[in-house]
Amino acid sequence: MTTQHVLVIGGGSGMGLALARLLLDRGDRVTIAGRSADRLARAAAVLGAPGLLRTRQLDITREEQVRDLADTGPLDHVVVTAADATGAYAPLGEFDLERARAVVDTKLLGPWLVAKHVRPNPGGSITFTSGVAAYRPGPGASVIASANGALESLARALALELAPVRVNVVSPGWVDTPVWDVLAGEAKHERLAAMAGRLPVGRVGRAEDVAGAFDAVLRNGFLTGEVIHVDGGHRLV
Ligand SMILES: NC(=O)c1ccc[n+]([C@@H]2O[C@H](COP(=O)([O-])OP(=O)(O)OC[C@H]3O[C@@H](n4cnc5c(N)ncnc54)[C@H](OP(=O)(O)O)[C@@H]3O)[C@@H](O)[C@H]2O)c1
C-alpha cells in the first residue's frame, strides 16, 4: 500500500491523536494541527516518528490561518476533530450568545473553511467529526446538537460540490478523551461509568475505536456524503 500524507486538525489529543498514531504506525506521513504549541509538542513527543510527523499551530476559526495550510504541501486526506467544548452545554435561558457562536465557529464554520481552502489530491478525502448529541441531545445541548446536525448536512453538500474528493463525517458517541477533563478527577470517572451503564456495549468508547472508523473512511474510495456512527449503540436506547 502506498503511504499517504494526512492532515489531522485536532490531532494534538483525543481521537485525532489516536488516529495520528494509527497512521504513523503504518508508515503514513501525518501533520497534526491545533491551537496550543505545548499540546502539539507533547503529542509529538508521545508519537515519536520524527521523519513522518509534522506539527502545525492553527486556529481553525481563523480564515487566514486555514488559507495558509496550502504550504503544508500535497495532502491525500484531511480529518477535522477540532472542537472546544468549554461552555458548549448550558440551559437555553443561560446560554451566552458569544459562547454559542464560538461553538458554531469551531464545529461548523471551521470545517467549512477547511473545505474552502484545503484541497486534497484526486482520490483523497475530507472527514469531519460530529457527535451523538445531534441524535440524542441531553439538556443544555441545543447549540452542540444543531452544530453537529448542520455539519452532517454540510458534508452531504460538499460531497457533491467537491467531487471527486470524498467528504464524510464520523459521529462518535461518549468517548473517554480529554474533552471530559472539564469534570475533575472522580467526577469524570463517575460520569463516564454512569454513561457506560446506559450503552448496549456496556462501556464508553476509546479514542482508538473512533480512530479506526476514520481510517476506514479514508481507505474506502466508494464512501462519500455519509455519516459513520461509532457510538456503542447509543442511538438505540
Ligand atoms: N469525546 C466525546 O465523548 C465526544 C462525543 C461526541 C463528539 N465528540 C467530538 O469529537 C471530536 C474530537 O474530540 P475529542 O474527544 O478527541 O476531544 P479533544 O481531545 O478535546 O480534542 C479536540 C482537539 O481540538 C483542538 N482544537 C480545539 N479548538 C480548536 C481550534 N479552534 N482550532 C484548531 N484546533 C482546535 C484541541 O487542541 P487545542 O486546544 O490545542 O487547539 C484538541 O486537541 C470533537 O469534534 C468533539 O466534539 C467527542
DSSP state of 55: E
Ligand 1, atom 14: nearest CA belongs to which residue? 14
- Ligand 1: does its nearest atom lie under 6 Å from the Cβ of 144? no
Average pLDDT over the chain reads 95
205 lines ligand 1 (CB under 6 A): no
- Per the CB < 8 A criterion, the answer to whether 83 and 129 are in contact is yes
Question: What is the mean pLDDT of the segment spanning 198-216?
Answer: 97
Read off the amino acid at residue 2. T
> How far, in Å, from the CA of 129 to the mean position of ligand 1?
9
**Angle, nearest 10°, between helix axes 110-117 and 142-161?**
10
Quote the pLDDT of residue 176: 94
Does 229 score more than 80 pLDDT? yes
CA-wise closest residue to 22 among 1, 40, 38, 6: 6
**For the chain, what are the domain ranges?**
5-180+207-228
| Burial class, 86, CB count within 10 angstroms (exposed 0-12 / middle 13-18 / buried 19+) | exposed
Residue 68 pLDDT exceeds 80 = yes
Q: Which residues are catalytic?
A: 130
Q: Which of 73, 68, 71, 43 is nearest to 58 (CA)?
A: 68
Q: DSSP secondary-structure letter at 121?
A: P
Q: Give per-residue pLDDT as tens, 117-165.
A: 999 998 899 999 999 999 999 999 999 999 999 999 999 999 999 999 9
User: Does residue 93 or residue 189 have the better pLDDT?
Assistant: 93
Q: Which CATH number fits domain 5-180+207-228: 3.40.50.1820, 3.40.640.10, 3.40.50.720, 3.90.226.10?
A: 3.40.50.720
* 183 has a pLDDT exceeding 80: no
- Of ligand 1's listed atoms, the one at least distance from the Cα of 205 is 3
pLDDT in tens, 19-55: 999 999 999 999 999 999 999 999 999 999 989 999 9
Residue pair 33/103 in contact (Cβ under 8 Å)? The answer is no
10 in contact with ligand 1, CB cutoff 6 A: yes
Per-residue confidence (pLDDT) for residue 1, from 0 to 100: 61
Is 90 exceeded by the pLDDT of residue 69?
yes
* Host H or E run for residue 127: strand 125-129
How many angstroms does the Cα of residue 125 sit away from the middle of ligand 1? Answer: 20
> What's the gap in Å between 196 CA and the centre of ligand 1?
21
